[in-house]
Homo-oligomer: A and B are copies of this chain.
């Protein structure tokens, strides 16, 4: 069985134990001639796939009453993967979703790490610094690089930690963020686990 999670820039495949990515810009989904079960947050790709008989959208398996209408299907699958905890999916945006007793309890969206750094650069060239993941989170900074790193990371950290839940980290920046959430479980395949569970339950 092949699973696929389609974002704005790439197709992320899982075929058995083999995980790989293809660029949205160059990959032709019609080149695949076996069943693929997918989720997508990419409207352009959605249109392409709707005519391809090998591609099966898992959107229809989602129990929408447990979530909300405009919520990303990727967030939903990540929530479905766990029974209890806080899922942080760190990509172009960082989504933080709370699951209690198998139920989605709400979540929020924070900009991705690259987007945040660009935001500071756009405010002023004086705020153009690389992120310092090794900053002391318990001390208000006294230099510009840490003042910005703290603004990006400590605000997110303060909100996340107050929930006092097991944290699951996934997405392209999961490893980077694990530096400030050392107790978190990093799982790059979390969405696929949610997709599999959903298929077992609802297909």
Binding site for B on A (CB under 8 A): 8, 67-68, 70-71, 92-93, 97-98, 105-112, 115-116, 118-120, 122-124, 126-127, 139-144, 146-148, 150-151, 154-156, 158-159, 162
Contact = CB atoms under 8 A, between A and B. Distances in A.
Contact of A143 (B68, B97, B151): B68
A147 B68 CA distance: 11
Contact of A156 (B119, B124, B146, B155): B155
Given A92-B123, A93-B127, A159-B154, A116 B107 contact: no
B70 A143 contact: yes
Given A93-B127, A109-B151, 20 more contacts: A8-B124, A68-B144, A92-B123, A93-B120, A93-B123, A105-B140, A108-B141, A108-B150, A108-B155, A109-B120, A109-B148, A110-B151, A111-B116, A115-B119, A115-B122, A118-B122, A154-B159, A155-B158, A158-B159, A159-B159
B155 A98 contact: no
B119 A111 contact: yes
A146 B70 CA distance: 12
A89 B155 CA distance: 16
24 contacts: A67-B142, A70-B126, A70-B143, A92-B124, A93-B124, A93-B127, A98-B140, A105-B140, A106-B141, A106-B142, A107-B140, A107-B147, A108-B141, A108-B146, A108-B154, A109-B127, A109-B151, A110-B155, A111-B120, A115-B122, A115-B123, A119-B119, A155-B156, A155-B159
